[in-house]
Amino acid sequence: MDLSLGRIKVLLSHLPQYTLPTIHIAGTNGKGSVSSFVASILQASGFRVGSFNSPHLISVLDSIIINGEPVGSDLYNGARRLVEDINSGLGIEATSFELLTATVLMLFESAKLDIVVLEVGMGGLTDATNAVPDDVILVSALTAVDLDHQKFLGDTVGAIARQKAGIARKGRPFVVGPQKYPDVMVSVRIVVEEEVGAELVCAGPAATRTWDEAVDGPPEPAVRATSSLPFRRPAAVRPVSLSLPCFPDPVLALLPLQGDHQLDNLGVAASIVSSLLTHSYSTQRLPFGSRITPSTIAAGIRSTSWAGRLSFHDVPLSRLGGGTEDPDESLVVLVDGAHNPASASVLASYMSHLLESTPVGGSEDLNLTFVLALSDSPPKTPLQTLSPLLSFERAMDVKINLRAAALEFTPVEGMPWVRPVPSSEIRDVIKEIDGDIGLWTPREGERESVANALLWAHEEHQRHGGKGFVCIAGSLYLVADFYREYE
């Protein structure tokens, strides 16, 4: 793959000039959550907002959001045809992602938006999104950096961070979130401060706080234990506070996204918003100071959603072919797009916390079935991604019956280069990690599908006491298959 900006710049030069104020976000993990927080806050503050996230979840349309809604198919198809005609007519040979990026920028420009939140596809320096003009960038940001896509970005976190920090712009704020590796900050400081001359802003995490009924209203209870799930699911929101230098008091908000890592992501989003409010280049472009207030920030955070990340769903057994028509009977499914060792560790930690905070009482066992698929993305290996997930720390007083189903996700729209790891290879890796894990082997003539894997999981849970849940993980493309079937 030729990672350069030559093709996309030629393509953009034949389209209407892109002029919209833009927030540009890179990172290995968390950039989608951060962009969702920022877009939601801006929209709650009265701005017309466009956001672009990749890869898409169910359809390419859901990667392009205009004022909180996916772009319409007719609008998208018309813009895409124009971009493809220019590409073929001039022999540019742009990649699929470059064509998509050009289409997105054209759609945003024509929608007469106030501001755009633009997520990097991969890396940063040579990513197609980095072809936007320097003068449109208000703030650049970097979320957590870890090993991923080493084939294209480098073999160390320091090298990867250099690529991702390449979105910095001279004289503009560059917000960097909390980092696990010191080498990341070394690379970031060199690129951002010494080479580019941007203003480095180090974001801290949001802080948790106790529920305050005067501010938050009546507390929202955790979902109670049921006959099939013997621990309480977390409450839909939790109270947090954010310190922004431009406000005398902390901003008090309710955070709807699950997982402690979202405190880091929210901290990055808050620092981006703070930069918009305080940096002269931003305040000259848009009236942030008169529109963004503590109340609009809190409202934007509360209304943030980000599908496919630590999300619980109840799948009616009647839709599984489970032999019941009772609408109250369901299979509990935890969905998360964890697709690299770092995000798999986050998911494992989240499940450990659930089991530790609300352990199963008595001598009852808990059934936990993983439904897994992986993208073929060397040098990242299935063993590296699945090891933290399948060997997660478990509460001492909870006996877990662990099972796994290995699948291959369906072909991804517009991304023919994305291929799944063969399910047979995933099964071999699962056996290598834990030879005692029960594995699903489809019956003769039975498809390897999310629906059949969930039906198997339900049947196994019933055979072993009935209590438990399913975790779908390993790939956002597998999560997308689940949503197409059940949401």
Distance from C-alpha of 381 to C-alpha of 449, rounded to nearest angstrom: 23
Q: How far apart are CA 405 and CA 237, in angstroms?
A: 31
Query: How crowded is residue 46: how many other Cβ atoms within 10 Å of its Cβ?
Result: 13
Cα(405)–Cα(427) distance, integer angstroms: 8
Contact partners, residue 130, CB within 8 Å, separation at least 6: 5, 24, 120, 124, 166, 167
Tokens of 193: 């401060």
DSSP H helices in 358-403: 382-390
Side-chain-facing half-sphere of 293: CA atoms under 13 Å: 5
The CATH fold assigned to 6-302 is: UDP-N-acetylmuramoyl-L-alanine:D-glutamate ligase (3.40.1190)
CATH topology identical between 6-302 and 311-486 = no
Q: Residue written as tokens 């949503």? A: 483
Asked if residue 34 lies in contact with residue 306, where contact means CB atoms within 8 angstroms, the answer is: no
DSSP code per residue over 271-321: HHHHHHHH-HHHHHHS-HHHH--HHHHHHHHHT---TTSSEEEEEEGGGTT
Structure tokens at 95: 């990649």
DSSP-assigned letters across all residues of 287-300: -HHHH--HHHHHHH
307, 308, 390: which is closest to 341 by C-alpha? 390
pLDDT at residue 40, rounded to an integer? 98
356: burial class by Cβ within 10 Å (0-12, 13-18, 19+)? middle
Low-confidence ranges of the chain (pLDDT < 50): 360
pLDDT at 326: 58
pLDDT attached to residue 465 = 79
Query: CA triplet 283, 288, 293: central angle to 5 degrees?
Result: 140
Copy the structure tokens of residue 73: 């198919």
What are the boundaries of each domain within the chain? 6-302, 311-486
Count the helices and strands in the chain (H runs, E runs): 17, 17
Identify the bridge partners of residue 199 per DSSP, sorted by sequence position: 173
CATH 3.40.50.300 fits 311-486, yes or no: no
Predicted pLDDT of residue 152: 75
Token pair belonging to 361: 């009482």
Contacts of 297 (CB under 8 A, 6+ apart): 41, 44, 45, 242, 244, 251, 253, 270, 273
